[in-house]
Structure 1
């Protein structure tokens, strides 16, 4: 190593050691900058309360960045919080993009121009319901990579990425006259792991990249202890009851200002579930509490925007891909509109302005247009417009073929034989199965579908499996979410054994957010098979609109080369936000890639979005089959007890028991007249009191679930999201107690306790008396 680089490295290490020992970068006063003191933030030496809101420049058309920032300022915020998404900036290894929609520096400078400071969240992991949590897909080309650990390849790529972030954004810190006042280290790591040395190394990379402003970590109240380090400031994320959650923060951080790093005014949406909303009075009340106690906050999201292109992510388990609309029921709507929630918060914040602050006028909404219904007139069937194929003995995942996004077609010749079962391990995420060009099945990962009844075939019959990738998992333990067919395809032999199908032609149908593949050729006509459809419409003026895709099936849409995102007629979203700057006077082109076939090939532009029009039948998503009834007669509970009131995470301990099937039976609620049961999260403890991994958990039964009026499905009890919950029916029928949920743990476990997180935003349905059952065999009635 050259002497100059060696000296630079030595100086950095010395600097890092001094900071780690003294914590001076975090805790000392700075007369001209931003610092953290024992009881408050300090801006230029004066106490400062951060009124922040999250918005992601990647989810906003660049032409509207300034408008959205003006809206945030007019609502009464003094800071914006911004994630960086690594996959947006490093599309291939070593090739960085900081232009156009990825120009983070320009966004920060605009924020400063509008009188807003910036809290930077660079990752390397972000989450944010963004594809792969912000990780670039090409990390998964390393077969044995272990994300968010000290895996050497992962750490080296993270270091190089953060170094590049520093090159671009470190000059914009407040210490250099810029708007960036704090930088986050990783993100909600306590919900994933507990390697504090890993957090320390990511901290070192951020320091090495040139960031000298205070650093912080964030997490939910029960996960804070997993990643806290003395030299890094801590904030807590929550969606309800700031008093109790700040108490949890104080347990691990005795001094320093209180701050909620993510306060949820609404929630994100997933395909096949209801559109989420957050009550205005609840949000106002809790933010008022924080302001009264001089606690800082960041509203996640103040403006959600849109996950354009193929950038929307997914949760798992269970697998739930998220909608492209990221409206979030935020104070500033998906299209940048002022809302009732916006004005309620503007009124609140007006009473807490600091010396010299005033509220600017609310910017006018951008113009909105409608587009009369028009038809697509040309098609390009997918099976007639394929890229060159590669041959492979066994099918492999998308990443193995150097493909990041889109679809992939697997084709082989069948050996022939009687009717049998075809088994695919695994389908990620949505598959159409054909024999000799005739569709025989549709497989949906949301429902764990991976088997197909294969008809009688003859030798040489062609099997096609077209798989659509719907967004990689962005949160939790199943981040390593490779797409396509992940392992193999088998058929069942007459004797019950299985045989792998081999000798495949694989067609990687890579899709871009900037237009369709050049090899796609259109012809006049229509089809209900998987196909690209093209149409045109004329405009005399431009403006925002909402493309009505309710008459189509499932797929992607491009307008004038811009990918609007994904649509799916199951809902809840039935429109797609179209920014005015992406339209033009005169002729405009629309291309729709539809996998399942349109009811009618008709599109239109509406003046308002359709965000909550759920078409999928509720019975397909409930965990109680018709006529099914749990029978606990004769079953002996391993524990019986009473939960105290409140929202705190409750831990109960009992004698070690072993079993595979867990049943929690709620006998009543804290409010005796309340017929409901609600649960935000459940955890089990092993013999040593450690949390048992929940990656293999599966809900087998819930006596009641509200899936029509709300997203109250039972799977929410282990989705790592304290804001979502299992809620028994409240719309229509309101069955009385007892209520029960049965979970298959995926294998036998020795259990010594249970953790129960009550509903956070309301006392409705919080459990009082309960019984816990653990069985080696399935309970009667199931």
Structure 2
């Protein structure tokens, strides 16, 4: 590994060690790809002709609990070791662009902001509100000392760091941007700082900040975009920091987003003729666990588990026709050598394997297993997940209607995102998003001391737009019973599903209830495979204790990517948590993905 220091400057163009330098970069998010695959993906990036790799840094993963920092990721298979990722890139002869903004968007839960920001005191997120900034300072106190030694002027590969992300489409608090800039400088960041925004005058002018170089994000129309950007670069170079070559999918989309390779290649030619580029995404990866983001237009649209993005590499790292076409374009500009000697390793460490079908071997429903997974918290009124210290997953709200002998309607106020309601263990209502506020007539339930259970699911926090400040999950208001009163006296069960080893499958199983299903299969050799969940309703999957992500018959995604690095030779375990009462009896592991037509 080279330790020679260098320089990177922004003048009329980019200069690396005082020589003109064109950035040809590709986006790879280390936190969406298992570490066993980093070298393979980075090597393929260099072989495309790129000289740089770009990645976001997600605050919510590195500080999951206030004051508790994780820069390795023992519970997520080591995926949070950002320093190791950067050093691997350097060893393979790549420069690095880091985007450690408090907010990253990235179709990632809450845009990378930690859920605990919503737990207590009210604050204006992404502003100069001191109640928010003090949390950013605490985070940067830990993060920036890790990043500073990775900079080019200290012998590392890092050329630039981003200050915030697409802020011009959110607000215009210049004091906030100046505060972030100063925080980074005060903590040892010496390389150039940059911002990225849409190629729009309002967006760029909202975010322009002294000492922060402006760049643009777009997917087409490079000539027009750069002509606008030039008005803000003070004679500096033009760069497309996110050249969108694909798009993300949301549940209920009609089909997987797929773009035209030739059209994208022609756009790349225009960008490289005029300036610099970061291809977004080179490889998208996977929204493992509960970390998918969401958007909110007329309704909540939660993103699927795959972040394939129609990128140059597939979700499991296969080379695409778009990759081949982009390599032709990039080769026309020659490789800009960077003085780093690549040390190549093996590519594609895992082949695709079909393991076939496996049947349920054990099962237990949620109500029988409840006390294995959570201790109840008594509250007068329902409280949101965040107020009880839970960031992700599900929460069960339970109460007994001592004063009402007939239940015929329900209404949930300040509830998100999806509710399944049971009265005396009978499923009486499923509702989501704005439906939760509506009055719902249900089939009447008549009995003394009716037990009411409401399973709330956090489907992913919105990652873009003004709603980012107002999205507590669960119920943070009240439950109206029969149009007359709010039910008081609740027991709340936090279900982040991070302790499934405590499940006791002998407790019992009732048909139609949310339940856990356990499968096992033997692997003679380990390889990448794809979990087909046809016949199952909605829920999430765990493989050998690793949270693979969500599944939903709504599509378009029909199979979940299961990296071979999570498997072992011999017996492997899969657990599904299914909420709709739809169980197929078996699942299958196939050798091909299915993201929808």
Residue among 34, 41, 50 paired with 1:61: 34
Cα offset, 1:521, TM superposition: 4.0
Report 1:501-650 matches (<5 A): 501-512=487-498, 516=500, 518-522=502-506, 527-612=511-596
Q: State yes or no: 1:265 paired with 2:245.
A: yes
Report 1:202-241 matches (<5 A): 202-222=180-200, 223-241=203-221
Question: What residue number does 2:472 align with?
Answer: 482
Kindly provide the CA deviation profile for residues 323-370 of structure 1, in whole angstroms up to 9, marking residues without a partner as x: 110000000110000000010011111111145589999945731110
Q: State yes or no: 1:466 paired with 2:473.
A: no
Question: What residue number does 1:43 align with?
Answer: 16
Question: What residue number does 2:117 align with?
Answer: 139
Per the alignment, do residues 277 and 422 of structure 1 end up closer, same or farther by CA in structure 2, a change over 3 Å counting?
same
Q: Secondary structure at the match of 2:98?
A: strand
Question: What residue number does 1:8 align with?
Answer: none
Residue among 167, 179, 184 paired with 2:157: 179
Partners of 2:411 and 2:436 within 8 A in 1: no
Partners of 2:116 and 2:386 within 8 A in 1: yes
Report 1:126-205 matches (<5 A): 126-205=104-183
Specify every segment of 5 or more residues in structure 1 that has no aligned partner in the other structure, as ranges.
1-30, 614-782
**2-structure distance, mates of 1:538, 1:525:** 26
Kindly provide the CA deviation profile for residues 601-650 of structure 1, in whole angstroms up to 9, marking residues without a partner as x: 2111111111015xxxxxxxxxxxxxxxxxxxxxxxxxxxxxxxxxxxxx
Question: What residue number does 1:296 align with?
Answer: 276
Report 1:720-739 matches (<5 A): none
Partners of 2:405 and 2:450 within 8 A in 1: no
RMSD of equivalent CA atoms: 2.0
Kindly provide the CA deviation profile for residues 370-424 of structure 1, in whole angstroms up to 9, marking residues without a partner as x: 0111111211211112222121111110111111112111112223256643110
Partners of 1:419 and 1:453 within 8 A in 2: no
Q: Secondary structure at the match of 1:547?
A: strand
Report 1:1-80 matches (<5 A): 32-38=6-12, 40-80=13-53
Cα offset, 1:526, TM superposition: 7.5
Question: What residue number does 1:439 align with?
Answer: 427
Partners of 2:509 and 2:515 within 8 A in 1: no
Kindly provide the CA deviation profile for residues 541-587 of structure 1, in whole angstroms up to 9, marking residues without a partner as x: 11000111122111110111111101101101011111111111111
**1-structure distance, mates of 2:481, 2:512:** 28
Partners of 1:79 and 1:117 within 8 A in 2: yes
Residue among 336, 353, 370 paired with 2:317: 336
Residue among 260, 279, 288 paired with 1:308: 288
Partners of 1:426 and 1:450 within 8 A in 2: no
**1-structure distance, mates of 2:509, 2:423:** 24
Kindly provide the CA deviation profile for residues 102-134 of structure 1, in whole angstroms up to 9, marking residues without a partner as x: 110000000011111110000111111111111
Residue among 384, 397, 400 paired with 1:410: 397
Per the alignment, do residues 279 and 95 of structure 1 end up closer, same or farther by CA in structure 2, a change over 3 Å counting?
same
Cα offset, 1:426, TM superposition: 2.8
Per the alignment, do residues 89 and 280 of structure 1 end up closer, same or farther by CA in structure 2, a change over 3 Å counting?
same
Question: What residue number does 1:255 align with?
Answer: 235
TM-score by structure 1 length?
0.71
Q: Secondary structure at the match of 2:429?
A: strand
- The structure whose RCO (Cα within 8 Å, separation 6+) is larger is 2
Structure showing greater radius of gyration is 1
Q: State yes or no: 1:106 paired with 2:100.
A: no
TM-score by structure 2 length?
0.93
Q: Secondary structure at the match of 1:300?
A: strand
Question: What residue number does 1:775 align with?
Answer: none
Question: What residue number does 2:66 align with?
Answer: 93
Q: State yes or no: 1:83 paired with 2:64.
A: no
Q: State yes or no: 1:280 paired with 2:261.
A: yes
Residue among 302, 306, 314 paired with 1:321: 302
Moved over 6 A (4+): 357-362
**1-structure distance, mates of 2:518, 2:87:** 39
Question: What residue number does 1:124 align with?
Answer: 102
Q: Secondary structure at the match of 1:593?
A: strand
Question: What residue number does 2:485 align with?
Answer: 499
Per the alignment, do residues 361 and 534 of structure 1 end up closer, same or farther by CA in structure 2, a change over 3 Å counting?
closer
**2-structure distance, mates of 1:93, 1:460:** 40
Specify every segment of 5 or more residues in structure 2 that has no aligned partner in the other structure, as ranges.
73-77
Kindly provide the CA deviation profile for residues 234-258 of structure 1, in whole angstroms up to 9, marking residues without a partner as x: 0011111001111221233341000
